[in-house]
Amino acid sequence: MEMALYDITTKGAVRKRFVAEPREVLSGYGLEPPEQAMLEGLDVPSLLDAGVSPMLTIGLWMCVRGPQALPEYLKAVSDSRGGKV
């Protein structure tokens, strides 16, 4: 999942394809269906609970929703149990 997230957050062409056709982009990363669902749905609390780096979860949110969307991110992750470095 971190490889997919890294590509989406740092490579503009991948990001554009992800926004337009997320399932097609994610199909190339060997993800399990629940993992793919988390990424497709921008399910950032579940991604954090799964141990994904919070640098990538916030990066994903800001890339897709825009840099002004921080308040919405904070609301979305408020029920997460944790995360890691």
Partner 1 sequence: MATIVGGFLMSHDPLVFINPRKVDPSPVLAAYEAIGERVRELEATAAVVIGADHYILFGPTCLPQMAIGIGDVQGPVDPLPGVDRGPIRGNPDLARHIMDVGHGEGFDWAAAKSMSVDHSIGVPVRRCLPADGSVATIPVYLAAGVEPLIRPRRAFDLGGSIRRAVETFSGSDRVVVIGSGGLSHWVGLPQMGRINKAFDRMILDAVERGDPEALIGLSDDHVLENGGNGAMEIRQLLCAMGAVGGAGRVIAYEPWPGGVTGLGFAELGMAA
> Which residues contact partner 1 by CB under 8 A?
2-3, 6-7, 9-10, 45, 48, 53-59, 67-71, 73-74, 77-80, 82-85
**Distance between alpha carbon 43 and the CA centroid of its chain, in Å?**
7
| Smallest distance, partner 1 to C-beta of residue 27, A | 18
Closest separation between CB of residue 83 and partner 1, Å? 5
The residue written with tokens 């825009």 in the block is: 66
**For residues 73 and 62, what is the distance between their CA atoms, to the nearest angstrom?**
8
Compute the least distance from the CB of residue 44 to partner 1, in Å.
8
Q: How far is the C-alpha of 75 from the C-alpha of 24, rounded, in Å?
A: 29
Nearer to partner 1, 17 or 80 (CB): 80
Provide the residue count of the chain.
85
Contact 26, 4 (CB under 8 A): yes
